[in-house]
Amino acid sequence: MAYLDNYLKARNERLGTQHKAKSRKTKQRQIIKGDRRKHVIDKVMDTLSDWRYSPFEHEGPCHTGLRSALCMEGYSWSLSNTEAGNIVGEALRLTGAKRPSWDQGQPEYLLAYDVCSGCHGPMPEDMITGGRRGRFCSDECARSFLVKRDFTSSLHASRIEASAFSLINRDRRPLRTCENCGDQYRGFSRNDHSQKYCSRNCYGQAKRKLQQQDCPICSKGFHPLHEGQVHCSWACLRQMKLEKTCVVCKQNFNAKSKKAIYCSEKCRSYHVRHGQGGEVPLVGVPRACTCQHCNVEFEVMNARPKKYCSNKCARAVEKLIRQQRNKAPQSNIIYLTAEIFDGWFKQAA
């Protein structure tokens, strides 16, 4: 047993040494570097500095926003999450924010339990003795604090109330005249004196270079998107009828485009195969031809004339050609070349 114990101990030590993980310090990868990183940290510091109740109240939204932006750029979630945490942590360190201890984070902990949270005056003795931890000296201080807190937090968090306040302030500004439609309006910002139009619609109409015109199909007015646009929509463009003549069969047809020159796919394919580089032959017109085998006249509905009136005549001509080729006498003349002479010389040797 002692031998077995020593063997197992030596084996375990050997395996432990062989598979021991190498501890090495890995350097974290930075996605945002250089001046761009400094700029992002400065912007995050500005956002974190605008706090009401705690320097850490905007830490979560900043972290989430940075992580989402990095993920949208194509980085993985883990790398984006780590980079966002590093940037927010660096911004908090530069702002001098210190996290509270565990005791300070508990509801029972009060930094100034003997001072009223409303008027900042001294608390009555009966409100702080005997295990009581009151925060307000009177009912008026408690009510005013609740109203102030609700008003401040809702104004800071809700954009709807901020928009309402902006609308109220806008009604106090003087009237202006829109340079496009001539209506009276009030400016959106009291410091912006360069606003000339009452809405984005009027701004777009004033900046548009192409004037309104009527559609030739539906007779409705529209603003063209580019020069050369004639119809208001694709539906009206498809209804347009252009009478043109096919360059292959010389028949009239209604074209959908000014560049159309064929009446059908058949004429187009035939022109591509036979008619390029010269005069376009006719398709669909009967043409008289004479068979080269039986001398019978026949008509074809094709631009290229045929040699034979039927497949029977064509096979008969091919048969005659094969027979003449087989009847040709074979020559017995052997032309003497250097290779043949060398072969004969080797055979004689």
pLDDT, tens only, 297-330: 887 765 567 888 888 898 998 988 888 877 766 6
Q: Identify the residue whose tokens are 């069969």.
A: 249
Query: What pLDDT was estimated at residue 334?
Result: 66
Both structure tokens of 194? 């360069």
Tell me the pLDDT of the chain averaged across its residues.
Answer: 75
Tokens 């008003």 belong to: 151
Residue 158, pLDDT score: 46
Reported as a single tens digit per residue, the pLDDT across 111-156 is: 566 777 777 788 777 666 655 566 777 778 777 777 776 666 555 5
Rg of the Cα trace of the chain? 48
- The DSSP bridge partners found for residue 177 are 184
* pLDDT, position 184: 87
Residue 70 exposed, middle or buried by CB count within 10 Å (0-12, 13-18, 19+): buried
Per-residue pLDDT, averaged over 72-77, amounts to 84
pLDDT given for residue 48 in this prediction: 84
Q: Is the whole-model pTM more than 0.75? A: no
Q: CA 182 from chain center: how many Å?
A: 39
Alpha helices for the chain (secondary structure H): 2-18, 34-49, 59-72, 77-95, 125-128, 139-157, 159-170, 200-207, 234-239, 265-270, 311-327, 338-348
User: What's the burial of 56, exposed, middle or buried (CB within 10 Å: 0-12/13-18/19+)?
Assistant: middle
Q: What's the mean pLDDT in 95-102?
A: 81
Instruction: Tell me the per-residue pLDDT of 156-204, one tens digit each, with 9 for 90 and over.
Output: 544 444 445 454 456 567 888 888 888 888 776 656 677 888 888 888 8
Mean pLDDT over 56-76 rounds to 84
